[in-house]
Structure 1
C-alpha cells in the first residue's frame, strides 16, 4: 500500500496542493493537521480543507500516529 503523510506551512496552499497531487497519483493521503499551519486569506483554509476532503485526503492528528497500527493507518 502506498501512503503519504503531509505536514508543513501554508496548509491552504503548499500542503493542500501536495496532498491533492498525492491523491491524483493514487496514494492514500493523510494531512497531519496539528503539524501544519495555514495562512487563511479570505477563507482559503476552509476552502482547502473542503477541496482536500473532496479529493479523498484524510485529516488526522499527530496523536493518531501513535495508534496507527490499531487505527489502520
Structure 2
C-alpha cells in the first residue's frame, strides 16, 4: 500500500521546529488536521462563491474571504 504523505519528511520538519520529544504518530495527527483544514477552507470558499451571484468557479477572492473564518475555527 502506498503512503499518502512522506512520513519521514514530515517528521523531520516537525522535529526542526520542536525540541521536545514527540509521540509515535504525531505526524499522522498533524497531517489529518491539515487535510481537515483544507477541506473546510474549500467548503467555505465554495459557499462564498455561491453567495456571490451564484458563481460556478471558486476564485482567489473567495478563498481569501473564507480563510479568516476557517483560521478562527482551527485556532487552538
Q: TM-score, normalised by structure 2?
A: 0.24
Structure with bigger gyration radius: 2
Higher strand fraction (1 or 2): 1
Q: TM-score, normalised by structure 1?
A: 0.25
